[in-house]
Amino acid sequence: MRTICLLGSTGSIGTQALDVIRRNPERFRVAGLAAGTSHDLLVGQIREFTPPLVAIADEDAAEELKAKIGSLRGVEVLAGPEAAETLARDTEADMVFNALVGAVGLAPSLAALQSGKILALANKESLVIGGELIMDLVKGEPDRLVPVDSEHSALSQCLRGERRDDLRRVLITASGGPFRGWTRQELEKASVKEALAHPTWNMGPKITIDSATLMNKGLEVIEAHYLFGLEYSAIDVVVHPESIVHGLAEFADGSVIAQLASPDMRLPIQLALAYPDRLPTGIRPLDLPALGRLSFEELDREAFPAVDLAYRAGEMGLTYPAVLNAANEVAVMAFLEGKLRLTHIAEVVQAVLGEHQAAGVVSEVTLSRADAWARSRAAELVESP
């Protein structure tokens, strides 16, 4: 039985991970849960899975949580901004499943690896911001880092048993989001409601907006660079509206291996939780005749410039990817609050990248400074006329 510490348990990925665990009680036990704040969903999760440790970022919410679960013995509540990091380091779990959203996921990812645990990574920002630090911790032990994103899970399956020298490139697929086919001029008028209406995936608001701008694909390109040790020139993005093909690998002889599955995040989640095993539960099998056809399109780089911004930041390296991520997080929140147009998200990110004085990534401190500067500068640009 594998013991799991789940960070971000109340989010979209976290709740689906608990569904997989619930369906396979003989395979998994929950050793810890972490969330940003306390609400009824978290209380219910604690009562169902009774983890010995729970982490809450909001200290006031932690006190409320303690009152709500007071009758449960053996559940300790950690509180504060560093609670998830402490949980990831101190829990007795075999695996830390990081489903946090944003830059807050980096420190817990590092803590999990530093304490010798397996890290199942759904928090793509950990690699975007701190890829060099993360990969240093898994040198010689690559199986301690397991991807959860559907695209990277697909690529890891395509590459199993293949010689890396034979690999020519990988292709990351994008559904195109809610604005596939829109021109840049049309995107100027896109509303928050329209941006949150993703045609395929049910995700949290931040990730859904990243899918609308296709910044999520840019972040996934950087993530793939680190996970698979690939040059950026060997990573491509292709639009695939049906969201059935999740990743492809092309080899030197011209052959292409693709991973196909229903668009259900529980598949990559259970692949990560049970790695290297496969579980026969919960996923609807494909009916290829019913699908009829699968289509692929070129990425519209003029309408969706965020992808090329990510390529640029990734290729420049240093603290540029951290700045890209921080500026994007600020701009996305501004859009959700009605302070910014959708197309201006990439403009803010581009401006912040252009002003950044980069430094080498030598520690979390270096990354934190770059992150803080980028957030401050992006906020100034959002508020400027």
pLDDT of residue 227: 97
> Residues 33-56: what's their mean pLDDT?
92
> Residues 196-209: what's their mean pLDDT?
85
Contact 135/226 with Cβ under 8 angstroms?
yes
| Residue 202 pLDDT greater than 80, yes or no | no
Instruction: Look at the block and give the residue holding tokens 């559907």.
Output: 150
The single-letter code of the amino acid at 320 is: Y
Report CA-CA distances (Å) from 318 to 87, 129, 312, 323: 29, 10, 12, 10
Residue among 105, 123, 134 at smallest CA distance from 210 = 123
| Residue 181 pLDDT greater than 90, yes or no | yes
Which tokens hold the place of 88? 């990831």
Domains of the chain and CATH, by start: 2-123 (3.40.50.720), 152-383 (1.10.1740.10)
- pLDDT band for position 283 (50/70/90)? confident
In the sheet that holds 145-147, the strands lie side by side as 76-79, 53-56, 28-35, 2-7, 95-98, 118-121, 145-147
| Residue 252 pLDDT greater than 80, yes or no | yes
Q: Can you state the angle between helices 342-355 and 306-316, rounded to 10 degrees?
A: 20
- pLDDT band for position 382 (50/70/90)? very high
pTM: 0.95
| Residue 385 pLDDT greater than 80, yes or no | no
Report residue 2: phi and psi, to 5°: -100, 130
- pLDDT band for position 284 (50/70/90)? confident
- pLDDT band for position 201 (50/70/90)? confident
* Per-residue pLDDT tens over the stretch 78-113: 999 999 999 999 999 999 999 999 999 999 999 999
If you average pLDDT over every residue of the chain, what do you get? 95
193 Rama sector, left if φ>0, alpha if ψ -120 to 50, beta otherwise: alpha
Q: In this prediction, what percent of the chain has a pLDDT beyond 70?
A: 99
pLDDT of residue 199: 81
SS3 string of the chain? CEEEEEECCCCHHHHHHHHHHHHCCCCEEEEEEEECCCCHHHHHHHHHHCCCEEEECCHHHHHHHHHHCCCCCCCEEEECCCHHHHHHHHCCCCEEEECCCCHHHHHHHHHHHHCCCEEEECCCHHHHHHHHHHHHHCCCCHHHEEECCHHHHHHHHHHCCCCHHHEEEEEEEECCHHHCCCCHHHHCCCCHHHHCCCCCCCCCHHHHHHHHHCHHHHHHHHHHHHHHCCCHHHEEEEECCCCCEEEEEEECCCCEEEEECCCCCHHHHHHHHCCCCCCCCCCCCCCHHHHCCCCCECCCCCCCCHHHHHHHHHHHCCCHHHHHHHHHHHHHHHHHCCCCCHHHHHHHHHHHHHHCCCCCCCCHHHHHHHHHHHHHHHHHHHHCC
* Per-residue pLDDT tens over the stretch 136-157: 999 999 999 999 999 999 999 9
pLDDT of residue 374: 98
| Residue 72 pLDDT greater than 80, yes or no | no
179 Cα distance to chain centroid: 21
pLDDT of residue 204: 82
Report residue 28: phi and psi, to 5°: -135, 150
Q: Give Cβ neighbours of residue 284 (< 8 Å, ≥ 6 apart).
A: 262, 264
| Residue 226 pLDDT greater than 90, yes or no | yes
* Per-residue pLDDT tens over the stretch 152-179: 999 999 999 999 999 999 999 999 999 9
* Per-residue pLDDT tens over the stretch 321-367: 999 999 999 999 999 999 999 999 999 999 999 999 999 999 999 99
